[in-house]
């Protein structure tokens, strides 16, 4: 898998997490711990995307 494809895949996963978090927050019985876990995962993916983009630009 190319680096660009991996970045796109991670961006799609991050978008899915964003949508899942937004959907979960609309429910009155929201699980705060699960939402916090998903937000941490989303942030981790964002950091990884930034690292990969930096690596990609350095190799160009």
pLDDT digits (tens, 9 = 90+) for 7-42: 999 999 999 999 999 999 998 888 899 999 999 999
Whole-number pLDDT of residue 56 = 87
Q: How far apart are CA 37 and CA 18, in angstroms?
A: 12
Which residue range(s) make up the domain with 54?
3-59
Whole-number pLDDT of residue 11 = 97
Whole-number pLDDT of residue 1 = 72
| Range list of H helices, 1-60 | 3-25, 32-59
pLDDT higher than 90, residue 48: yes
Structural domains of the chain, count: 1
Q: What is the pTM of this model?
A: 0.86
């Amino acid at each position: 898998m190319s680096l660009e494809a991996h970045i796109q895949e991670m961006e799609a996963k991050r978008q899915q997490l964003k949508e899942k978090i937004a959907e979960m927050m609309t429910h009155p019985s929201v699980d705060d711990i699960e939402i916090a876990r998903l937000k941490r995962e989303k942030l981790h993916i964002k950091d990884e995307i930034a690292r990969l983009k930096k690596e990609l630009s350095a190799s160009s």
